[in-house]
Amino acid sequence: MSDSACRTKGRYAIFGAKLPFRPGIRTDARLSDIRIGRFASAAVLAVALAGSGCSYSLTEAECKAGNWVEIGYADGAAGLGAERIKDHDKACRRVNVAPDQAAYNRGREKGLLQYCTRSNGLKLGRGGKSYRGVCPERLESAFLKAFDRGRDIRDVERSIAAASAEIAGAEQAIEQARAWTPEAELAKKLSKIDRNIARERAQIVRDIEAVQSRIRKLRKTKAGDGKAASLRAEIERLEFADASLDLKRLKLHAAAKEEHERSRERLVERNRMRLAGSLERKSSGEKRKAALETRLSALLKAVADGAY
């Protein structure tokens, strides 16, 4: 893929889709969200290019421009490690340009000042992102504390969502159990029998139509009379089978009703236990959700008060 094609495709990845996952980088942010100077696209575009099939972190034009302070700044602000410059070195060998290590390091150190903030740590942790261990020692403690607080908030929010789903499932089961009656259970069984009988009847009708079609074709031949007689006998057999379905249905209905009466008390008890279990699950879920919401409120208040 050409350099210009890679760049175009990389921009498409930034403006039109989510960036590919890279630990420690906000991969769900679009370019407009990353305010790290006019050269911010250096690091972000590189990530997009990596996910779009291009193998170079910088374009030839960017290598020739040699804005290594700004490239380093962008990489630092994106939370990329110091080894990132090796990718830039590989990219710029195409035009015989070597990275300015000192300028890159100066820029990256300034970029890390933006990345290694408490607010960014909180945002990364809450967003479920990873941390590469890139922050300077003097900033890392506060960053990690906020990062861990963000993860705590994320974990609680996910647990609340799971509890809500459990409550919703229990409520649905409660509704079904309360709507259940022995008569409705029997009606379901009889309806299933009727559907099976209807399918058998439809198949018999199709078989009769197929045999009748064969008889019509045989009438056009001289030697078809004997075979046609045999086929007419087949139609009579099928018609008898069709007529027998009504009796089969009555017998199956009678058997189902008899079985239902024998198991009526067991079915009622089973539904009672299902209702009780669903009510217990709902109550347990509501208690857990309430506790989690209290925990979340405390975490969010601590953040609002700056205690993170």
Higher pLDDT, 62 or 53: 62
167-181: per-residue pLDDT in tens?
999 999 999 999 999
Report DSSP letters for 230-247, one per residue. Answer: HHHHHHHHHHHHHHHHHH
**Confidence band of 126 (pLDDT split at 50, 70, 90):** very high
What distance in Å separates the CA atoms of residue 202 and residue 221, rounded to the nearest whole number?
Answer: 30
Predicted local confidence at residue 72, as pLDDT: 96
Mean per-residue pLDDT, 48-67: 76
What distance in Å separates the CA atoms of residue 172 and residue 165, rounded to the nearest whole number?
Answer: 11
**Confidence band of 224 (pLDDT split at 50, 70, 90):** low
**Confidence band of 225 (pLDDT split at 50, 70, 90):** low
Residue 17 DSSP class: S
Report DSSP letters for 54-119, one per residue. Answer: ---SS-HHHHHHT-HHHHHHHHHHTT--TTHHHHHHHHHGGGT----HHHHHHHHHHHHHHHTSHH
Mean per-residue pLDDT, 287-307: 94
CA 198 to each of CA 71, 195, 248: distance values in angstroms, whole numbers, following the listed order? 74, 5, 12
**Confidence band of 215 (pLDDT split at 50, 70, 90):** confident
**Confidence band of 50 (pLDDT split at 50, 70, 90):** very low
Tell me which H or E stretch contains 275.
helix 225-304
18-44: per-residue pLDDT in tens?
333 333 333 333 323 333 343 444 444
Mean pLDDT of the chain: 84
**Confidence band of 109 (pLDDT split at 50, 70, 90):** very high
Q: Which two tokens stand for residue 175?
A: 């509704």
Predicted local confidence at residue 51, as pLDDT: 44
CA 157 to chain centre: 17
Q: Where are the alpha helices (DSSP H) in 1-59?
A: 3-16, 41-51
